[in-house]
């Protein structure tokens, strides 16, 4: 009989149709690889050299207002532009197509030193409210078919500015990860008439081994198919497609569980825990997408301590994702840090 805690095995991701190799016996191997440097000391509440602090001038030459809670602006160095060419190119086996879009930066608060786990629930709720507003406004534009809300936290995740902030990239096409999740959820919806993630959440609530924390409206868990060592997902108990449909009571509950989960991350290795986090929700292409179930994923890279990082190299790059520490072990650790 398969023993998840000892035997190498493959786990199936119901949202993408892909698999991850789990090798639990490798947790005993010694580590002599790279160790990341832990950031030094406390940051000030205001940094005169920070491009995102209130009243400061950004690298693109624009001056920030003296904002008091959240602040959003069009990225001065955007990866996507609304007025770029959308023409197609094809020559033999070479194909390309112009991509239009909008990129925005969302400053979570005027405080340079206070990331989400250190913000109040009320302050985080204002961030969620801004996410809602931006999703609905940008998504209503004719040429925008997908809105991606995300945060890269920490220098080792490629974050170019330590001021707590996230980004919104909206574009004219639907990205590959979203297409995969659309396909899998639609397939389950056609077969059962139910939400794939709602059915999955019911099973996780019954088994309890991968749960991290929960409240009346949301559940944070370590997904069965997780790739990153302490990967987590927040799923609403109610089935809805996008953040614009989140009710006021759910908005507060979402802010609360965001704080709860990220504080547990920080307690795990007693450091400001780095991660990439992203909201996955229905595209804005005018279709109903009834099968879509809103969720938010967290991909933290730390493996054994605040200085040892998980790298996606070798086998992971050329074959399939692989992890050593089991999802159940990771969930138990995070659950115990409440």
pLDDT (tens digit per residue) in 221-230: 999 999 999 9
Round to whole Å and give the CA distance between 106 and 101. Answer: 16
Does residue 3 lie in a domain region? Answer: no
Angle at 310 between CA 113 and CA 118, to 5 degrees: 20
Residue 56 confidence (pLDDT) above 60: yes
Residue 53 confidence (pLDDT) above 60: yes
Mean pLDDT score, 100-114: 97
Does residue 1 lie in a domain region? Answer: no
Does residue 2 lie in a domain region? Answer: no
Which residue in the list 146, 163, 165, 293 is annotated as catalytic?
A: 165
Mean pLDDT score, 45-67: 94
Query: Are the CB atoms for 231 and 223 separated by under 8 Å?
Result: yes
Round to whole Å and give the CA distance between 31 and 118. Answer: 32
Does residue 240 lie in a domain region? Answer: yes
Does residue 5 lie in a domain region? Answer: no
Per-residue pLDDT at 41: 64
Percent above pLDDT 90 for the chain: 84
Does residue 178 lie in a domain region? Answer: yes
Mean pLDDT score, 273-291: 96
Per-residue pLDDT at 37: 63
Q: Are strands 322-323 and 19-22 parallel, antiparallel or unpaired?
A: parallel
Q: Is 242 noted as a catalytic residue in this protein?
A: no
Round to whole Å and give the CA distance between 22 and 26. Answer: 9
Q: Which residues contact 94 (CB under 8 A, 6 or more apart)?
A: none
Round to whole Å and give the CA distance between 337 and 330. Answer: 11
Q: Which of 31-35, 164-168, 170-174 has the lowest mean pLDDT?
A: 31-35
Q: What is the pTM of this model?
A: 0.95
Per-residue pLDDT at 156: 81
Mean pLDDT score, 286-299: 97
Mean pLDDT score, 108-132: 97
Mean pLDDT score, 95-113: 96
Mean pLDDT score, 314-331: 93
Number of domains in the chain: 1
Residue 305 confidence (pLDDT) above 90: no
CATH code of the domain in which 87 resides: 3.30.428.10
Query: Are the CB atoms for 17 and 183 separated by under 8 Å?
Result: yes
Q: Which residues contact 69 (CB under 8 A, 6 or more apart)?
A: 109, 110, 123, 126
Does residue 4 lie in a domain region? Answer: no
In which domain, by residue range, is 295 found? 10-335
Round to whole Å and give the CA distance between 52 and 63. Answer: 9
Does residue 228 lie in a domain region? Answer: yes
Mean pLDDT score, 172-184: 97
Residue 338 confidence (pLDDT) above 90: no
């Amino acid at each position: 009989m398969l023993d998840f805690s000892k035997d190498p095995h493959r786990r199936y991701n119901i949202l993408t149709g892909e698999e991850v190799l789990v090798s639990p016996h490798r947790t005993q191997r010694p580590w002599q690889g790279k160790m990341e440097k832990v950031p030094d000391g406390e940051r000030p509440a205001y940094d005169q050299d920070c491009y995102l602090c209130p009243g400061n001038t950004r690298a693109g030459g624009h001056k920030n207002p003296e904002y008091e809670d959240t602040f959003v602006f069009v990225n001065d160095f955007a990866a996507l532009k609304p007025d770029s060419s959308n023409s197609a190119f094809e020559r033999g086996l070479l194909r390309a197509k112009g991509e239009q879009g909008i990129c925005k930066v969302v400053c979570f608060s005027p405080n340079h030193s206070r990331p989400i786990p250190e913000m109040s629930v009320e302050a985080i709720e204002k961030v969620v409210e801004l996410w809602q507003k931006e999703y609905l406004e940008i998504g209503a534009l004719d040429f925008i078919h997908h809105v991606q809300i995300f945060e890269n936290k920490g220098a080792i995740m490629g974050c170019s500015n330590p001021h707590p902030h996230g980004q919104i990239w909206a574009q004219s096409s639907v990205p590959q990860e979203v297409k995969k999740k659309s396909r899998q959820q639609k397939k389950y919806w056609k077969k059962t008439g139910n939400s794939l993630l709602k059915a999955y959440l019911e099973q996780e609530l019954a088994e309890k081994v991968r749960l991290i924390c929960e409240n009346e409206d949301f559940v944070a868990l370590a997904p069965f198919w997780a790739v990153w060592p302490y990967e987590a997902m927040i799923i609403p108990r109610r089935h809805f497609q996008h953040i614009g449909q989140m009710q006021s009571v759910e908005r507060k509950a979402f802010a609360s569980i965001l704080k709860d989960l990220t504080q547990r991350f920080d307690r795990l290795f007693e450091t400001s825990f780095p991660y990439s986090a992203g909201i996955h929700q229905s595209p804005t292409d005018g279709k109903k997408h009834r099968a879509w179930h809103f969720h938010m994923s967290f991909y933290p890279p730390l493996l054994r301590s605040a200085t040892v990082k998980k790298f996606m190299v070798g086998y992971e790059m050329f074959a399939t994702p692989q992890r050593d520490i089991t999802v159940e072990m990771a969930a138990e650790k995070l659950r115990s840090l409440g």
